[in-house]
């Protein structure tokens, strides 16, 4: 790696409006989700806020954009179509990588292709796509996981399963041997204790042990709508695990921050890889997009 490389991390866009909620897709999960959207979230998540953040990342010439899930809300065919249209405004598939969140795999689709519409943004095609996937982008290897599974009402938990974890282990080893910077993308918080049980990754402890034994360079996630940084001790040293706030939060909701995104700059200092994190977003509702914080990712001694 001879030059810097920048990766913009967006998450939990929750695009609106919700359309296509026909009787064919009615069930208790979606009914409760629609009620929650109209009574709580409808006034919070605004596409215009996300679009302003995307424009900011483009103005700063981010080399690549990664979106860690929850592009939509109720997992409806028209929502997938709208999200696909939105992705084309974000950038071409070679410049943008997407993984699904729990709202993207929400409930029964009755045979609809669902997230298959976004397959080229996930490194594959609609017929053969599988997780995890790898995209080699400059000096980075983006490893995309799918932690989203259908759940009953009032549950937003996730699960990877043993196959994804095993394949990810092998990929981390192989990509490390290739000298690539390994960035893991997952929607649910990937470590035990980062989310309450009904919202947690059910096999977080297993995934965490795998990371400890195999290492990575950076793990990015969403789901919590919070800015979070956790350090995990691995065989290769401390691993930064970074969560992001919602990219579309146009006004305050509970203790969630306003719309923001993470901008990572990878660079070498001597023979050592360094990662600078700038958090950018709104300080006030409707305010300009500004740098909220900046630091080089290093564990606290």
CATH code for position 277:
3.60.21.10
In a domain, 301, yes or no: no
In a 3-state reduction of DSSP, which class is residue 10?
strand
CA dist 277 → 149, 211, 220 (Å): 30, 21, 12
49 belongs to a structural domain: yes
Q: Which of 165, 144, 147 is nearest to 156 (CA)?
A: 147
Tell me how far apart the alpha carbons of residues 74 and 80 are, in angstroms, rounded to a whole number: 10
Classify residue 79: in a domain, yes or no: yes
pTM of the model: 0.97
152, part of any domain:
yes
pLDDT in tens, 7-34: 999 999 999 999 999 999 999 999 999 9
* Residues spanned by the domain of 65: 5-296
Q: How many domains does the chain have?
A: 1
Q: Is residue 223 part of a domain?
A: yes
- What CA–CA distance (Å, rounded) separates 229 from 125? 33
Torsion 260-261-262-265 (CA) sign = negative
Residues in the chain, total: 301
Decide if 78 is inside a domain.
yes
Q: Is residue 249 in some structural domain?
A: yes
Q: Looking at the domain assignment, is residue 211 inside a domain?
A: yes
pLDDT at 207 exceeding the cut of 80: yes
Residue 165 to residue 59: CA distance in whole angstroms: 36
d(C-alpha 294, C-alpha 296), whole Å: 7
Residue with tokens 């599974």: 149
How far is the C-alpha of 169 from the C-alpha of 290, rounded, in Å? 37
Query: What b-and-e string marks burial along 189-206, b requiring 16 or more CB atoms within 10 Å of the CB?
Result: bbbeebbeeebbbbbbee
**Predicted pLDDT at 24:** 92
DSSP calls for 36-56? HIIIIITTTB-HHHHHHHHHH
pLDDT for 243-267, tens place per residue? 999 999 999 999 999 999 999 999 9
Indicate whether 301 pLDDT > 60: no
pLDDT band (50, 70, 90) for residue 2: low
């Amino acid at each position: 790696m001879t030059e810097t490389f920048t990766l913009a991390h967006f998450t939990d866009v929750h695009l609106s409006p919700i359309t296509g909620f026909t009787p064919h897709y009615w069930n208790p999960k979606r009914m409760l989700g629609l009620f929650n959207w109209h009574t709580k979230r409808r006034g919070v998540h605004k596409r215009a806020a996300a679009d302003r953040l995307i424009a900011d990342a483009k103005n700063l010439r981010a080399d690549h954009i990664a979106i860690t899930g929850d592009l939509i809300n109720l997992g409806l065919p028209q929502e997938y179509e709208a999200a696909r249209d939105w992705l084309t405004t974000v950038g071409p598939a070679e410049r943008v990588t997407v993984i699904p969140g729990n709202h993207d795999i929400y409930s029964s689709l009755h045979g609809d292709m669902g997230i298959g519409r976004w397959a080229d943004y996930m490194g594959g095609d609609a017929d053969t796509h599988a997780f995890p996937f790898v995209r080699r982008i400059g000096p980075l290897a983006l490893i995309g996981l799918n932690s989203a599974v259908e759940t009953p009402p009032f549950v937003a938990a996730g699960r990877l399963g043993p196959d994804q974890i095993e394949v990810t282990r092998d990929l981390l080893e192989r990509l490390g041997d290739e000298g690539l910077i390994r960035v893991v993308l997952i929607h649910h918080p990937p470590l035990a204790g980062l989310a309450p049980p009904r919202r947690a990754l059910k096999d977080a402890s297993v995934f965490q042990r795998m990371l400890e034994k195999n290492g990575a360079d950076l793990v990015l996630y969403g789901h919590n709508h919070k800015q979070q940084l956790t350090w995990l001790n691995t065989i290769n040293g401390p691993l930064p695990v970074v969560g992001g706030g919602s990219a579309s939060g146009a006004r305050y909701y509970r203790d969630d921050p306003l719309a923001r995104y993470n901008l990572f700059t990878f660079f070498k200092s001597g023979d050592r890889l360094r990662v600078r994190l700038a958090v950018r977003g709104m300080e006030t509702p409707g305010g300009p997009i500004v740098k909220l914080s900046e630091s080089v990712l290093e564990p606290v001694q």
